[in-house]
Structure 1
């Protein structure tokens, strides 16, 4: 018995080896024997809409739906890079969509699931942009653009980010401890699993006099990263192949 969690794959045509690693992992014995697989956001580097006719979305849908057809539920939560992903693609990919901040019970323990970006409250500039782009009006404006215009818009955003940071990898502020405590207290849980910050770790800490745990998922820029949760405990590891 085990459940798997991944996030921050940032799949992109420029990094085909990571897409191949993702496909291989979903076809692996570990994934095919899981009770469920959760993808907690930023599956791709940029999502321009469910109508994207590029090969990458199709490859993703084939891989995830094959896992679903094998009897493994696949849960998906949008992140800051793929928040435009909607129900049309979810159906194609065999996803069950989750709201950010969902609580699922894992082998008897209620666990808060988040992408993680809303916990980075010290990054005021990011939070302001996030608030703007998540409005229905902004989304409608973007989706009204022709597909090629959206593709060019996403490419420019990636180029601007690289020019600013000198890298294709994001420079991400870490979570705020008070925001973490507030979210966990509101949900009534002692365990939180999230991604976004690209700082994989298992943090054990005190939460109002109770033992608590925050697990941060790793990114897939250079290699794979997966969290395995079972009745025996948790294991967070990186890997370079599906075995």
Structure 2
């Protein structure tokens, strides 16, 4: 069995989500051969050198799961794209490139965070290109911690304000972009998060049937996709 989750936005201010996640690690995840976390695991991440005691405790909880035999894969989201090797070493996790094609029981599956599919949000895509530029990443990682904290708060505040002002279709994936990316990677299944709109969508890629599975965010409930020999099942669970 394989489990996939995303968009937990872990932070000290949400102890209910933290508690639910720790229970998930100690329970259901122990039966999985692998756990994939597809971005926005943390609400914010200013760099591995700025890990708080809270973030360190989350890494240690992941390490306990890894030591029990479950492989852990972490993908960057738009909130935590500065997660690096130090955290992954602490957590016993492997950093997964976005996008990545993985093999699930003989089927090639495309995994993404999902923000790069929202091409109609031109302002966000422009900012994404700037922030993910290697030179920008280098500069960000070498800014003083206080400056990075201030910048992270500013970016989160602006993001919330802009999202509220944008039409729903702007902040969702671009319908034409999905089959294009799936055809490029030669897959019939795409799994992503980011949009906070959990669902399984049927579509066509070329002349072949395909599906796009959107993981849910953790807020009033948790979401996980279970993959096994019988197929894929997306379901919510209460905290």
In which range does the TM-score fall when normalised by the shorter chain?
over 0.9
Aligned pair count? 237
- Select which of 41, 44, 47 maps to 1:43: 41
Residue 176 of structure 2 aligns to a residue whose secondary structure is: helix
User: How is 1:114-133 mapped onto 2 (pairs within 5 angstroms)?
Assistant: 114-133=112-131
Q: Distance in 1 between matches of 2:68 and 2:153?
A: 35
Gaps of 5+ in 2: none
Q: Who is 2:5 aligned against?
A: 6
Question: How far did 1:56 drift?
Answer: 2.2
C-alpha separation between the residues in 2 aligned to 1:72 and 1:34? Answer: 6
Write out per-residue CA displacement over residues 55-112 of structure 1, whole angstroms, 9 at most, x where no aligned residue: 2211210111111000000011101111111111111111111111211110111100
Tell me how far apart the structure 2 counterparts of residues 39 and 120 of structure 1 sit (CA, whole Å).
20
TM-score, with structure 1 as normaliser: 0.92
Q: Deviations over 1:10-33 (max 9, x none)?
A: 1112111111111110111x2101
1:201 aligns with 2:193: no
Pairwise mapping of residues 68-107 of structure 1 onto structure 2 (< 5 A)?
68-107=66-105
1:48 to partner: Cα distance: 0.3
Superposed CA deviations along residues 128-161 of structure 1, whole A, max 9, x for unmatched, are 0000001122122222222122122222333344
8 Å contact 2:193–2:214 — kept in the other structure? yes
TM-score w.r.t. length of structure 2: 0.93
The unaligned stretches of length 5 or more in structure 1 are none
- Provide the alpha-carbon RMSD of the alignment: 1.9
More relative contact order, 1 or 2 (CA 8 Å, 6+ apart): 1
Q: Distance in 1 between matches of 2:199 and 2:124?
A: 23
